[in-house]
């Protein structure tokens, strides 16, 4: 991108637009990966959260995904019947249950992202380590800003309206 940016406000607008474009494109990619895997988009999001943060309890997943527990139960039922996750007794508290991804099925998802991962590696190869550190720092700050904005909206919602149903 070789743009002539005349002011800090223009630069911010360009970056805001670029982040938005990335979000949309990654959403499209994730939709295609989920479709190839035979999983609904919301189920795929939960599978990703379990992969990142798991094993974890259904209650913890409900909070991370911001889904009503009843909605999450249906998602977990579908993921379990599809062989994507397992529900197991929590080794720390045998009365509780945790969910974890099943490695064989998770490998299928990694294979579906192979094209994106190789392209990502090619993009990163064009930057120095210092530049990648700056980019990583920027992205972390944008992630944190998004989390804070979501928390603000959650706080403004009345009586749990922020929990979405699928």
Query: Tens digit of pLDDT for each residue in 98-132?
Result: 999 999 898 999 999 999 999 999 999 999 999 99
For range 20-38, the mean pLDDT: 96
Identify the DSSP state of 84: S
Q: Kind and range of the H or E element at 85?
A: strand 85-90
Where residue 67 falls among pLDDT bands split at 50, 70, 90?
very high
Distances 75 to 44, 89, 92 between C-alpha atoms, Å = 9, 19, 24
Residues 130, 138: Cα–Cα separation, whole Å: 12
pLDDT > 70: percent of the chain: 92
- Spans of all domains in the chain: 23-102, 113-155
147-158 pLDDT, tens per residue?
Answer: 999 999 988 874
Sign of CA dihedral 73, 66, 107, 36: positive
Q: What's the fold here for domain 23-102?
A: Arc Repressor Mutant, subunit A (1.10.10)
């Amino acid at each position: 991108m070789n743009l002539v940016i005349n002011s800090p406000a223009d630069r911010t607008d360009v970056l805001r637009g670029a982040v938005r474009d990335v979000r949309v494109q990654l959403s499209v990619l994730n939709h295609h990966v989920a479709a190839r895997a035979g999983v609904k988009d919301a189920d795929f999001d939960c599978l990703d959260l379990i992969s990142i943060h798991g094993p974890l309890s259904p209650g913890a997943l409900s909070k991370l995904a911001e889904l009503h527990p009843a909605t999450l139960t249906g998602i977990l039922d579908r993921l379990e019947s599809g062989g994507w996750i397992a529900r197991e007794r929590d080794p720390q508290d045998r009365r509780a249950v945790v969910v974890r991804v099943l490695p064989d099925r998770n490998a299928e998802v990694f294979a579906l992202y192979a094209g994106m991962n190789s392209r990502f590696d090619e993009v990163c190869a064009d930057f120095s380590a210092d530049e990648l550190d700056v980019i990583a720092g920027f992205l972390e700050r944008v992630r944190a800003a998004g989390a804070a904005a979501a928390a603000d909206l959650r706080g403004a919602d009345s009586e749990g309206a922020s929990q979405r149903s699928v």
